[in-house]
Amino acid sequence: MSLDTEQKNRRLVIKLILIAVLMFGFGYALVPLYDVLCDITGQNIKLQQSATDPVHEFVVDEKREVTVEFITAVNEKTPMEFQAETRTLKVHPGQYYTVNFKAKNLLKTPIKAQAIPSISPGLAESFFKKVQCFCFETQLFEAKQEKVMPVRFVVDPKLPEQYKIITLSYTFFDRTNIIEN
């Protein structure tokens, strides 16, 4: 193999390894990229940019009714009971409502748990404003403690006509071990 070829090989190898390293980084870059894309297209909305939205006065649209559903789930072995006090609510866009959720620690030791919200349809997310909510922070539940947790929200009157039902879901995850580690 001539010296010239060896040099050409070396340069090429460096370039190719660089591409491989860049692609490894690209894999990680997909994580924030995904959040952006989800936001635009309405997939698996994480609602994490702002836990609560600022209070804003809307004109109440008395003529229009939107059904809001509240569903709850408890993930895996999280030792909790968790229910919405109201399962469905007919609301007028622009008006503020409060719905209570009840969560109870079934254990006799304290646990830490966190509620993760999700919304369906995803594209309605930006029109569903929560001014008070219990998500995005880990909650401490004392032994056997039951908490009533309110969510105060308003549906933006600008919500496109095609949306008549919005579902808000909360899932509680046990974070006791994670936090301690």
**Is 36 near another protein (CB under 8 A)?**
no
> Which residue stretch of 52-60, 94-102, 146-154, 164-172 sits at the interface with another protein (rule: CB under 8 A)?
164-172
CB 97 within 8 A of CB 128: no
Total binding residues toward another protein, as defined by CB under 8 A = 66
Q: What 8-state DSSP symbol labels residue 53? A: P
> Which residue stretch of 57-65, 91-99, 146-154, 157-165 sits at the interface with another protein (rule: CB under 8 A)?
157-165
Say how far apart CA 157 and CA 161 lie, in whole Å. 10
Task: Spell out, one character per residue from 85 to 124, where the chain touches another protein: x when CB under 8 A holds, - when not.
Answer: --xx-----------------xxxxx---x-x-xxxxxx-
> Which residue stretch of 15-23, 54-62, 91-99, 126-134 sits at the interface with another protein (rule: CB under 8 A)?
15-23
Chosen residue from 3, 59, 90, 180 binding another protein by CB under 8 A: 180
Sign of CA dihedral 35, 40, 41, 46: positive
Alpha helices in the chain (DSSP H): 3-41, 176-180
CB 116 within 8 A of CB 134: no
Enclosing H/E stretch for 127 = none
**Is 158 near another protein (CB under 8 A)?**
no
Backbone angles phi, psi at 95, to 5 degrees: -100, 145
Helix (H, G, I), strand (E, B) or coil at 88: strand
Positions touching another protein (CB under 8 A) are 1, 5, 8-9, 12-13, 16-17, 19-28, 30-31, 34, 38, 41-44, 46, 48, 69, 71, 73-77, 79, 81, 87-88, 106-110, 114, 116, 118-123, 144, 162-165, 167, 169, 171, 173, 175, 177-178, 180-181
